[in-house]
A and B are shown apart, each in its own frame.
Chain A
């Protein structure tokens, strides 16, 4: 187009270096209650919409489908079914930790008994014969829990 030919110029790029920008994310009342139940009682809770009766996990204050407020916390089973899953063999740096997770690992959407939406988490197996849509799984909790989604270590394939 209109650019001058600068065929002999050395093309440079500048690295940002090892940057770090810490954030502090508010979890909210509903989410905090969920995490406290995980931490203190090894219990998983959801929340029911008064209108459509869907049970959401993690709990949040508004049903997006109905746009009504939700308040009814409901206990959920620590067992459920694999809704979708994949064995990840492609490594990448997790921007939240700056660390590359070891591969392979299994990432699954688990529909807990009593819930209508899924928790997204890791499974304990990378065996393609066991890791399948529809397989049953059970939550395994960390011994030392801090009020974090990772208080669930992973889900074990039953």
Chain B
């Protein structure tokens, strides 16, 4: 076992569709300064930096090199991590491992993306096999639509079920000043009616059946930074540190055609490992809040089943019963989630940072359970349905 580690600071930029006033390094610098101010530290207090984003999305590689000044990494140990959509959570895991090893006391984790600088789908396709998959790949939206097609065929889920997830995410985003999408028109309209509007409106373009515009995440410019600190140091920095109780990841296939579309096996496996390490037996009862990387609506039905919050096929019931709403038993994505902001390399790290804020009781207008949060779960998603999971808690892990 490694040393105990906690999150002691979090900073993020306002997530926006385009930030032409800053380049990538300047955007990173905003998040780093915000995180340092949040923890009341200076860059001199940081022992090492882990940074990541999507390779080549901005047409620039070696972000560890060219971002050093903005990242505060000059003459410090810096490591770049890129695992696709999971990059942000993998960056967090890597920073955690640095501190847990006992070799570093305070480590800065950074994730960022300027999706406005290239075509996101075109860039994503370059992650897939050039000989076997790229010639026919349907793109990022279609890659998720196929999973939805399987879930609907297996469990009889409907377009209204999918829209119910979209409504939750967009309503929650209204509480989050940092979120990219603020759909003010939704305010005050009953959930049922919003669902009907989303599935019935011709303005809500079908992108790849069954996914409409409202079922997808946006393309966002944004950055985030999270500071991890070792036991003994963490308590001095933060009044309520968010302790890392367990973390795990699972990556499976190279070929998309190998993926089991019946279940999200990687998020299931990583969740199982985390719950075993942390001694969680009844996730729905024991976990207080989640920040899940749900890039599209139907993931909010199916993946909560794979994590273990309910039985297969019961996801829609949890949604319609309001279990995952702000005031429900298990609020999911009080931040508005990925469907409300998706600066891809920052996205999974924002899940970790937002989960930490909930544990610290510092989530402001998006705080759940009056700040009485003992355990918060964050996840990442990417590539061939890859899964990262991190569990944070108010008490020191045993």
A residues in contact (CB < 8 Å) with B? 1-2, 11, 13, 16, 23, 25, 27, 31, 56-58, 60, 64, 83-90, 92-96, 105, 107-109, 117-122, 128, 132-134, 148-150
Cross-chain contact B253 with A88 (CB below 8 angstroms):
no
A92 and B121: CB pair below 8 A? Answer: yes
> In this assembly, does B375 line the interface, its C-beta being within 8 Å of a C-beta of chain A?
no
CB contacts (< 8 Å) of A121 on chain B: these are 136
B138 to A93, Cβ gap below 8 A? no
Let me know if A92 and B135 touch, CB within 8 A: no
**Counting chain A CB atoms within 10 Å of each CB, which of B30, B142, B256 scores highest?**
B142
| Closest beta carbon of chain B to A16's beta carbon, Å | 6
Task: Assess whether B324 is interfacial by the CB under 8 Å rule.
Answer: no
- Which of the four size classes fits the interface of chain B? 35 or more
- Which residues does chain A contribute within 8 Å of B121, judged by CB atoms? 90, 92
Q: Which residue of B lies closest to A84 (CB)?
A: B146
Residues B125 and A95 in contact, CB atoms below 8 Å apart: yes
**Is A92 a contact partner of B122 (Cβ separation < 8 A)?**
yes
Least CB distance from A77 to B in Å reads 16
- Apart from the given pairs A85-B146, A90-B121, 19 other A-B contacts in the complex at a CB distance below 8 Å: A1-B33, A13-B20, A25-B131, A58-B255, A87-B208, A90-B141, A90-B142, A90-B207, A93-B119, A95-B122, A95-B123, A95-B134, A105-B138, A107-B136, A107-B142, A107-B208, A119-B257, A134-B153, A149-B135
B183 in the interface, Cβ–Cβ < 8 Å? no
**Closest B residue to A13 using CB positions:** B20
| Set B20, B138, B150: member contacting A88, Cβ < 8 A | B138
Q: Could you tell me if A83 and B142 are in contact, using CB atoms closer than 8 angstroms?
A: no
The answer to whether A84 touches B147 (Cβ under 8 A) is: yes
How many angstroms between the C-alpha atoms of A96 and B137 in the bound complex? 11
* Contact assessment for B149 and A84 in the assembled complex, using a CB-CB cutoff below 8 Å: yes
List chain B residues, Cβ under 8 A from A89. 205-209
Q: For residues 205 through 245 of chain B, which have their beta carbon under 8 Å from a beta carbon of chain A?
A: 205-209, 211
B84 → A minimal CB distance (Å): 16
Q: Is the CB of A117 within 8 A of B150?
A: no
Known: A56-B258, A109-B146. A95 touches B126 (CB 8 A): yes
Q: Are B209 and A120 in contact (CB under 8 A)?
A: no
| B-side contacts of A118, CB under 8 Å | 257-258
Whether B208 pairs with A88 at a CB distance below 8 angstroms is yes
Q: For the complex, is B132 an interface residue (Cβ under 8 Å from A)?
A: yes
Expressed in whole angstroms, the minimum distance between the Cβ of A150 and any Cβ of chain B is 5
> Contact partner of A107 among B119, B122, B146, B205, CB < 8 A?
B146
Across the two chains, which residue of chain A brings its CB closest to B140?
A92
A7 to B258, CA, bound (A): 52
Report the Cα distance A107→B133, complex, angstroms. 11
CB distance from A99 to the nearest CB of B (A): 11
Contacts of B252 in A (CB 8 A): 64
B59 touches A16 (CB 8 A): yes
List 17 contacting pairs A-B, 8 Å CB cutoff, sorted by A.
A16-B59, A31-B132, A60-B255, A84-B146, A85-B146, A86-B145, A86-B211, A88-B142, A88-B208, A92-B121, A94-B125, A95-B134, A118-B258, A120-B256, A132-B153, A149-B132, A149-B135
Query: B131–A27 contact, CB under 8 A?
Result: yes
Q: Among A23, A88, A121, A128, which residue has the most Cβ atoms of chain B within 10 A?
A: A88
Q: How far is the CA of A84 from the CA of B148 in the complex (A)?
A: 9
Task: With both chains docked as a complex, state the minimum distance between the C-beta of A93 and any C-beta of chain B, in angstroms.
Answer: 5
Within 8 A of A (CB), among B100-138: 119, 121-123, 125-126, 130-138
Interface flag for B202 (CB, 8 Å): no
Q: Is there an interface contact between B134 and A94, defined as CB atoms closer than 8 Å?
A: yes
A64-B252, A84-B261 are known contacts. Are A90 and B153 too (CB-CB below 8 A)?
no
- Contact between B261 and A149 (Cβ–Cβ < 8 Å)? no
| Residue among A86, A92, A148 facing the most chain B CB atoms (10 A cut-off) | A86
CB neighbours of A60 from chain B (8 A) = 254-255
CA distance A31 to B133 in the complex (A): 13
Residues of B within 8 A of A83 (CB): 150, 261
Instruction: Return chain B residues, CB-CB under 8 Å to A92.
Output: 119, 121-122, 139
Report which of A11, A96, A105 forms a contact with B21, defined as CB distance below 8 A. A11
Query: In the assembly, what is the distance between CA of A60 and CA of B129, in Å?
Result: 13
Q: Which chain B residues border A109 with CB–CB below 8 Å? A: 146, 256-257, 261
Q: In the assembled complex, how far is the CB of residue B10 from the closest CB belonging to chain A, in whole angstroms?
A: 15
Most chain B CB neighbours (cut-off 10 Å) among A16, A87, A120, A122 = A120
Closest chain-B Cβ to A84's Cβ sits at a distance in Å of 4
Contact A107 B253, CB 8 Å, known A1-B33, A25-B130, A83-B150: no
Contacts of B211 in A (CB 8 A): 86
User: Quick check: B153 and A133 within 8 Å, CB to CB?
Assistant: yes
Tell whether, in the assembled complex, residue A117 and residue B122 are in contact, meaning their CB atoms are under 8 Å apart: no
- Chain B residues whose C-beta falls within 8 Å of the C-beta of A117 in the assembled complex: 255, 257-258
A-facing mask of B260-274, CB < 8 A → 1, else 0? Answer: 010000000000000
Is B34 in the interface zone, CB < 8 Å from A? yes
CB distance from A42 to the nearest CB of B (A): 18
Query: What chain B residues lie within 8 Å of A25 (beta carbons)?
Result: 130-131
Contacts of B147 in A (CB 8 A): 84
